[in-house]
Amino acid sequence: MSLKNILLIGMLSVLTGCAGNSSIKRPPETYFSNGKKLYAKGKYEDSINEFKKVKESYSSPILATAAELMIADAQFADKNYIEAAAGYEDFRKLHPNSEKAPYALYKLGMSHLNQVKKIDVDQTPLKNAIGSFELFLKDYPASELKDTVAMKLEMCRRKQSEYEIYVGRFYFRTGKYASAISRLKDGLEKFPTSPANDEALFYLGQAYIESGDKAKGKEALERLIKDYKNSKYLEDARKLLLNKA
């Protein structure tokens, strides 16, 4: 084979290899644009891969910062809430003065909140959500998100109240009246405005009665009747007062 042909084959091999090489570096703007398009299509894992390439390019700090937040958003949209929470937390630590820091804190709280799907699961994420929302209202009182955050915080507190009632009801039904009283009283004291407190009072009254303290049982049931005119426990509370208290 002639030297000319050898050189020609070598050049073709190089060109073919380059054409098929997906690792060729592109401008970070290209990766970022691709990531946003994939995100809009719901291809979150693919979008994350593109945003990671923006970070790895090290050539555009502004785009890299935006990519960090987009990665967390993609994790959140894909319902990977633990990973999303880590991403938002990292963003806040690395960019505390960013104009997106309030948004990251709000989404951090939502990432925690969305991990609690049932009442009979670990409530630690709920506590973490409350901590995030309380910190938001403290640090960003003028934010346009403050009303949304306040609403989410109230939702979290209601969930906490419902959990205390759930545990108290469990203790009552298993005959552990002292534990039921302690848990229900604690819930009423911590969450005095919870809309679920009629149920707390209903089981608290029963727990007192069953434990032998009819006076306190009567007090709890009468408070239910007085303060919760539309409660579904109203009639049962009145029957208990007539028959047991």
CA angle 104, 38, 71 (to 5 degrees): 25
Q: How many domains does the chain have?
A: 1
Q: Is residue 233 part of a domain?
A: yes
Contact 164, 184 (CB under 8 A): yes
Q: Is residue 168 part of a domain?
A: yes
pLDDT of residue 11: 46
Q: Is residue 127 part of a domain?
A: no
Q: Is residue 244 part of a domain?
A: yes
CA distances from 121 to 17, 54, 92, 236 (A): 53, 38, 28, 29
pLDDT of residue 121: 87
Would you tell me the crossing angle of helices 197-211 and 146-173 to the nearest 10 degrees? 20
pLDDT tens digit sequence for 142-198? 999 999 999 999 999 999 999 999 999 999 999 999 999 999 999 999 999 898 999
CATH code of residue 245: 1.25.40.10
Q: Is residue 240 part of a domain?
A: yes
Q: Is residue 50 part of a domain?
A: no
- Which bin fits 228, alpha (ψ -120 to 50), beta or left (φ > 0)? beta
Across all residues in the chain, what is the average pLDDT? 90
* C-alpha closest to that of 68 among 78, 86, 55, 49: 55
CA dihedral 23, 24, 30, 32 (to 10 degrees): 30
Can you give the residue range of the structural domain that contains 168? 162-245
Q: Which band of pLDDT confidence, cut at 50, 70 and 90, is reported for residue 25? A: confident
Q: Is residue 236 part of a domain?
A: yes
Average pLDDT (50-70) is 92
Average pLDDT (201-217) is 96
- In angstroms, rounded to a whole number, what is the distance separating the alpha carbons of residues 75 and 77? 6
Q: Is residue 224 part of a domain?
A: yes
Sign of CA dihedral 149, 116, 122, 183: positive
